[in-house]
Amino acid sequence: MLTGALAADLAVNGLVTGLFYALMAVGLALIFGVLRIVNFAHGEFYMVGAYAYTIVAARLGVPLAVALPTAFLFGAALGWVVERTLMRPLYANIATWGLMRDEYAVIVTFGLSLLLVNLVDKAIGPYAFRAPALVSASRIVVGPALMSGQKVAAAGVTLVTLAFIALFLRFSYWGRAVRAVSQNRLGASLAGIDATAVSSLVFALAGGLAALAGALLSPIINASPDVGAFPAIKSYVIVVLGGMGSILGAFIASLLLGLVESFGAVLVSYQYRDTFGLVLLILFLLFRPQGLFGERGREV
Amino acid sequence: MSGDIRLRREFIATALLLVLLALLPLVQRDVYWLGVLVVSAYFAILASSWNLLAGFTGQFSLAPAAFAMIGAYGAALSATYYSVPPILGLIIGTGAAGLIGLVLGRIVMRLKGPYLALTTLSFAEIARLVASNSINITRGDLGLPIAGWFNDRVLWFYVFLGALAFVICGLYLLLRSKAGLFLEAIRDDEIAAARSGVRIVFWKTAAFSISSAAAGFAGALYAYFASLVTPELGLVQQTGLVVSMTVIGGMGSLIGPVVGAFLVYVTSEWLRDVGGWQLVIFAALVIVFARLFRTGLWGLVTAALQPRRGKPA
């Protein structure tokens, strides 16, 4: 049933989908690493990015090379504002906060998600928006598979962005600061790292990456207010699979989930393809909460 | 004990509120507005049941809407395939939700904070996807029709109000007993509670199951009211509404979710006529309340009453 050609086709498609997931999941993992919270409004940054790109590129007629970074900057600015206004209580005075810290984070990001969805719904409208194409070619041959030109172009931009983020985290001062704060907030602060600035940076970066993902995919899945729910759920699954807070884990788990879904849809069940990841999430949280690549000993 | 006095005061306030609500049909007999009140009562039951978990036990579940959907399908499926009478359908729906809640509650026992939120969210999505994709059993997104019980909207309002009163009384009795003390001890410090001899596994699982059963009960009742059950009942946005109502009304108090549910839902229907910005306003309110007024409206009210009596908390 599964011929070589089909398998190759599924593999390429799964990996490309996984790349898009990674753009979302890496940001979520960064936030979890630094702040120890799950951002339940992550999908809305994706949605905002899709709208920013569509409006800037289609309405104002700005060229692609400007429209994509605009979407990124818009998401980043939103992320920065959110961190400044809503996330500060999480670590401003940790001692008095104590008990309800996790609940506060869930409520406030959940509320933010509702707010952004309904705000866009009222301000712009509930109808799907058609975004201008990234490239003119409709079909491109990638190795053994035939793919939509949009996807190939988006995957290319994604790869470059992810490589850039990896280099940033590995070598730059601020990248090392992010990793230090993820490992130990207090220790990093004692070593002179501005942990508050790192939190802002991480939220801005994550918002920007999610917005970029939305912008890149908007020509394929037209922007609508609730468009972020789906990729957000995928990225929750991925950060759990990869080990909450692990960046490399999130990247690898993204590709894995892309493959699992692409093969699972053909081999197991097409109807229930969206439940595979969710079942994996529950199983992982129960039996291997540190994920595939996370560290042991985290409080669960 | 001050906790007991506080709880009793909240219970009396809730009872007064319910009596006031019961008088509403005297002045408002419009079918549309009665429907709005019925849905408000439905949400009040959901919010109260969620509050038992999130507010009193410290288990932040994101699945209340899913359990309401399970209860609704429990009633609708048994009515469709075995043509059971409504009373039995209600029991089946409630029981199904309670049983699934028992299993899920036992499984997620160890999880906290974001991990619990993610697991329950995934469970809710799986339940919804299964309901909407099992087309040959549930008719998928088309929804499963179920023979209505009766049509009188005033009567429906009183049925829902009675159900809400029943749930509130049950919660009050539960929280007033030793169990309430155990649950709050678990919320405040699980390890200390365990060392003091509280049976953590038993009480956390029990709270999860009771809360799920109450949500299922609301869902089953709603199924007979709406005479159509769709997977939309289990949407995460519905859970968002439940959370919003509880946070705005006052989490961790008996009356908060009831106030929040009626206030949010009735005002949002009322605002619908003036541009439909209601959901934007409520989402913003949730954030403002969570950020600045953590005790909700009820907390603000009690704080405002406090100085006049001249005694600090």
Asked if A281 lies within 8 A of B276 by C-beta distance, the reply is: no
Rounded CA-CA distance A86/B159 in Å is 41
Q: What's the whole-number mean pLDDT along residues A46-73? A: 85
Asked if A278 lies within 8 A of B54 by C-beta distance, the reply is: no
Q: Look at residue B290 and give its three-state secondary structure.
A: helix
Rounded CA-CA distance B212/B235 in Å is 16
Q: How many CB atoms lie within 10 A of CB A180?
A: 18
Give the distance, in angstroms, between the CA of residue B235 and the centroid of all CA atoms in the same chain: 14
Of A270, A257, A188, A262, nearest in space to A25 by CA: A257
**pTM of the full structure:** 0.84
In the beta sheet, which residues pair with residue B288? Answer: none
Cβ neighbours for A247, distance < 8 A, ≥ 6 positions apart: A26, A29, A30, A33, A166, A169
b/e map B20-29, b = 16+ CB within 10 Å: ebeebbeeee
Q: Could you tell me if A18 and A256 are in contact, meaning their C-beta atoms sit under 8 angstroms apart?
A: yes
Asked if A38 lies within 8 A of B294 by C-beta distance, the reply is: no
> What is the nearest CA distance from A96 to chain B, expressed in angstroms?
13
What are B74-120's pLDDT values in tens digits? 988 888 888 888 888 889 999 999 999 999 888 887 777 788 888 88
Q: What's the whole-number mean pLDDT along residues A138-160? A: 75
Cβ neighbours for A173, distance < 8 A, ≥ 6 positions apart: none
Of the two residues A153 and A141, the one the predictor is more confident about is: A153
Rounded CA-CA distance B262/A286 in Å is 37
Asked if A40 lies within 8 A of B117 by C-beta distance, the reply is: yes
Asked if B236 lies within 8 A of A105 by C-beta distance, the reply is: no
Q: Is B279 on the interface with A (CB under 8 A)?
A: yes
Supply the pLDDT for residue B307.
Answer: 62
Asked if B118 lies within 8 A of A281 by C-beta distance, the reply is: yes
Of chain B, the percentage scoring pLDDT greater than 70 comes to: 96
Give me the DSSP letters along A101-127.
HHHHHHHHHHHHHHHHHHHHHHHT-SS
Contacts of A122 in chain B (CB under 8 A): 275-277, 280
Identity of the residue numbered B4: D
Q: What's the whole-number mean pLDDT along residues A79-108? A: 73
Nearest chain B residue (CA) to A235:
B118
Phi-psi region at A129: left, alpha or beta (left = phi > 0; alpha = psi -120 to 50): beta
CA-to-CA separations, B10 to A5, A224, B247, in angstroms, rounded: 67, 43, 16
pLDDT at A300 over 50: no
Q: How many CB atoms lie within 10 A of CB B233?
A: 25
What are B175-234's pLDDT values in tens digits? 888 888 888 888 877 788 878 888 888 888 888 999 999 999 999 999 988 888 888 888
What are B266-291's pLDDT values in tens digits? 888 887 776 667 778 888 888 888 88
Please count the residue pairs, one from chain A and one from chain B, whose beta carbons lie less than 8 angstroms apart. Answer: 127
Of the two residues A128 and B158, the one the predictor is more confident about is: B158
Q: Is B166 on the interface with A (CB under 8 A)?
A: no
Q: Is B267 on the interface with A (CB under 8 A)?
A: no
Rounded CA-CA distance A97/B99 in Å is 35
